[in-house]
Amino acid sequence: MAFQLAGASATGRGHLENGTGCEDAHYVIEGTDGVVACVCDGAGSAPRSAEGATALSRAICEALLPKLAYIQSDDIADTVSNAIRQTRDQLALKGPLNEFHSTLCGIAITAEQCLVFHLGDGVIMGINPGDWSDFVVSEPENGEFAETTYFFTLPQWQSHLRVFSAPRRYRTWFLMSDGCASFAAKTSPWRPTDNFLLPVHNYLRELPDPEARNATLLKTLQSPQTDRITADDKTLVWIHEQGAY
């Protein structure tokens, strides 16, 4: 079992115009038993959200990787929850937790299963690469008011953490922040785009070098076309199991 991987976080037009940095973060790590990936979207309203997003994505991936050989859906919920608690505790030593708001999209893939975990907005899509009409989606969970969502730094974060096991036939995965989802996914119902995700998938598959895939994905996210659609930061992680279509 081997994977092709790519990930990129592009600073949004709004932050570029204000001279501020990207508040998204992503982390992807592969081991002998599988791969773990996270996309975290820091809240624009929180002054240190980029720090929160970076800390959370790394902590969860590093907590899950050693357990992939035997982990089940119940175990992954416990492991992710523990990693969130530890990250919250570490960040609380640096300042108020509401300064580090971030969402979470993540996946752990082994030879036997795909385990998805999600808190807040952003979108996770698993696709059967032999039939793009066959897909599974973890949809964003938005808050009670417009432009709001849930963060790992909120008191009731655990009630919004969703975990599920996806059928193993989904061998291509996209994890995206809400800024990326605004053009990379269709809504009502949520589904992959054949004019963005499909050509991105086909192009990345042809690039043997991981760094070239990352650079290509970043350039795509930085294009003027995407900036015309959203001023937000844009993060996309692509995972494709080699040997699949």
182/241 Cα distance (integer angstroms): 26
8 Å CB contact between 173 and 244:
no
Each residue's pLDDT tens digit, 103-113: 999 999 999 88
> String of b and e for 224-243 (b: at least 16 CB within 10 Å)?
eebbeebebbbbbbbbbbee
Q: What is the CATH number of the domain that holds 133?
A: 3.60.40.10
Q: How would you write the pLDDT of the chain (245 residues) with one tens digit per residue? A: 789 999 999 999 999 999 999 999 999 999 999 999 999 999 998 999 999 999 999 999 999 999 998 877 778 899 999 999 999 999 999 999 999 999 999 999 999 889 999 999 999 999 999 999 999 999 999 866 556 799 999 999 999 999 999 999 999 999 999 999 999 999 989 999 999 999 999 999 999 999 999 999 999 999 999 999 999 999 999 999 987 55
Each residue's pLDDT tens digit, 40-66: 999 998 999 999 999 999 999 999 999
160/142 Cα distance (integer angstroms): 10
Residue 114, Cα to own-chain centre: how many angstroms? 14
Domain with 15 in it: 3-241
Total structural domains in the chain?
A: 1
